[in-house]
Structure 1
Amino acid sequence: MPDFSSFEDAPVPSPTTETEQPSKETSVNQEEPNQEPSEDFVAGVLAQLDSLYRTALRMTNNQQEAEDLVQETMLKAFRFSNTYRPGTNLRAWLFRILNTSAINRYRKLATHPTPASLPEGEDFYLYNHIRDLSGQELTQGAEEEVLEKYLDEDVYRALMDLPYNFRMPVILADIEGLSYKEIAEALQIPIGTVMSRISRARRQLQKSLWQYAQERGYVKAH
């Protein structure tokens, strides 16, 4: 079961509460279901199915829950396809539904949630630690060489250790390749908040992976 206890205790944002308000047509209006989605819409939604599932799986760490979330997202998308305006960002619209569905689904697990935070730190934590151990400046690919040694389970473990409100932006940015603007639309938070959370999440991931590297003997501790 995913940990949503760190997510802000507030109603799921509506289009009128975010800094960059999406158009009325791109919000999911629960009161005005449509009758039949267009073929282009169906094709566009189905094209995002794998991406939605990957994200849901990383959000929940549970295959069945991920499948349930994606199914709920797809049902809402098809039922309320009339609220999506053709030509706008369908991918961000779908991820917004997925994120909102996840929060609503697990909100009851958090009786007194508080906003989560991550410690401030340097942007190049991993790079600097490898440099300090080697005693010299590193080439651009040196950090990547170390990162390539990590097992998938290490990366996944570090990712799941992030608070949800930091995990989701970094999943969308670094795994699914969404732009900052798309992530802001999907999560209904300002772009500046997206950038801040991704930056801090990446630093925390680097710190966690550095610890795993020491545990597995990829690098030596001071």
Structure 2
Amino acid sequence: MEQDSSDQHYSDKEKIAAFDNEFMPHIDAMYNFAFRLTHDEDDAKDLIQDTFLKSYRFINSFQKGTNAKAWLFRILKNSFINDFRKKSKEPAKVDYQEVEGYYNSEKANSNITTDLRIDTIKDMMGDEISNALNSLAVDFRTVIILCDVEGFTYEEMAKILDIPIGTVRSRLHRARNLLKEKLQSYAQSMGY
């Protein structure tokens, strides 16, 4: 069987050099993207770790001199989607020890009363935007995060998502319209 000429074989030294020089400079941007996708620090860290493990495992498919950032973001995005699909099929889990710990703590026994209306209104706008964004399909949420939050160009997004630029533009336009619709009904319900 003939081997594809695009396959490269990295020595151990070349793998380390690729990680140090090509991959690690993007770890902060990757974490920001992972956190915006997962909304959880631990899940974002797990996603980054999974991305780096996969990038090490499949490093021979990375072509030297190409856009390492786009290659890593594509792995991260695919890992997130795979985890998202797997988790969406699992039943919801509750950590009963955490609930029990709260009710046995001093916080639960304090006599401090709070005006829940103030707390709710104070955080509502941020929560409503997050909820609207989270309610979008993964493909739409991803383009909004990559473009409007992370500031990637259409070209970078096309490489990360492995889709044509025209599809990026179309998906982003549709995602923004869906988000606008979701937030418009919220704004109307608030009297705007």
Query: Same fold judged by TM-score > 0.5?
Result: yes
Question: Quick check: 1:213 aligned with 2:191?
Answer: no
Distance 1:34 1:160 in 2: 42
Give 1:60 shift.
Answer: 2.4
Map 1:10-21; keep pairs closer than 5 Å.
Answer: none
Q: Which residue is equivalent to 2:72?
A: 94
Q: Which residue is equivalent to 2:159?
A: 185
| CA gap 1:183/1:203 in 2 versus in 1, 3 angstroms | same
Range 74-83 or range 191-200, more displaced: 74-83
Whether the 8 Å contact between 1:34 and 1:81 is mirrored in structure 2 is no
Give 1:109 shift.
Answer: 4.6
What TM-score do you get using the length of structure 2 for normalisation? 0.65
Alignment counterpart, residue 39 of structure 2, candidates 58, 61, 65:
61
Whether the 8 Å contact between 2:81 and 2:138 is mirrored in structure 1 is no
Distance 1:63 1:161 in 2: 20
Range 75-84 or range 192-201, more displaced: 75-84
Q: Which residue is equivalent to 1:35?
A: 12
Alignment counterpart, residue 126 of structure 2, candidates 128, 152, 172:
152
Give, as a single letter, the amino acid of the residue that structure 1 aligns with 2:31.
Y
Distance 2:46 2:71 in 1: 18
Distance 1:200 1:156 in 2: 18
Q: Structure 2 regions of 5+ residues with no counterpart?
A: 90-123
Whether the 8 Å contact between 1:33 and 1:80 is mirrored in structure 2 is no
Q: Which has the larger radius of gyration?
A: 2
- Give SS of 1:48's match: helix
Q: Which residue is equivalent to 1:105?
A: 83
Greater RCO structure (CA 8 Å; 6+ sep): 1
Give 1:153 shift.
Answer: 2.7
Map 1:76-91; keep pairs closer than 5 Å.
Answer: 76-91=54-69
Distance 1:57 1:100 in 2: 15
Distance 1:164 1:90 in 2: 23
- Give SS of 2:188's match: helix
Q: Deviations over 1:176-203 (max 9, x none)?
A: 2222222222222222222111100011
Alignment counterpart, residue 171 of structure 2, candidates 182, 197, 208:
197
Q: Structure 1 regions of 5+ residues with no counterpart?
A: 1-22, 112-149
Whether the 8 Å contact between 2:31 and 2:48 is mirrored in structure 1 is yes
Q: Which residue is equivalent to 1:138?
A: none
